[in-house]
Amino acid sequence: MEQDKRIEETLYSLTKSNFRSKFHLKEKDKQYIKEKGIEKIREHAKDFITKRLAPSIIPNDGKQTPMKGHPVFVAQHATATCCRGCLYKWHKISPGKELSNDEKEYIVNIIIKWIEKENQ
């Protein structure tokens, strides 16, 4: 329950950012979510986070998340879970160490929560 409160508070704070609040799902993204289902999108998010964000050293950190092409990528920019710098600034998750399972779960959950809100 604590995580849910943190997610809601962070999502609210992100709406105050001019940059973060510019990100929205396009109709193509919404259609993709409808076709695949939210659980498949959650699997994609877990995979992207594990491969692109979780390692302790990311050679292209700050450039690893495309701005479009998948609903999760859009959500990562909207939720500031796109790189380790943004993770630290907005979520206080330190760079330079591999993400814990709890941190990965939190990141996936905030991404999915944002997608669900956008997709209403």
pLDDT in tens, the chain (120 residues): 698 999 999 999 999 999 999 999 999 999 999 999 999 999 999 999 999 999 998 888 888 899 999 999 999 999 999 999 999 999 999 999 999 999 999 999 999 999 999 998
Determine contact, residues 41/73, Cβ cutoff 8 Å.
no
Let me know the angle formed at the C-alpha of 49 by 111 and 58, rounded to the nearest 5 degrees: 130
Quickly tell me which residue has 């690893």 as its tokens: 64
Question: What pTM does this model have?
Answer: 0.95
CA distance 94 to 62: 14
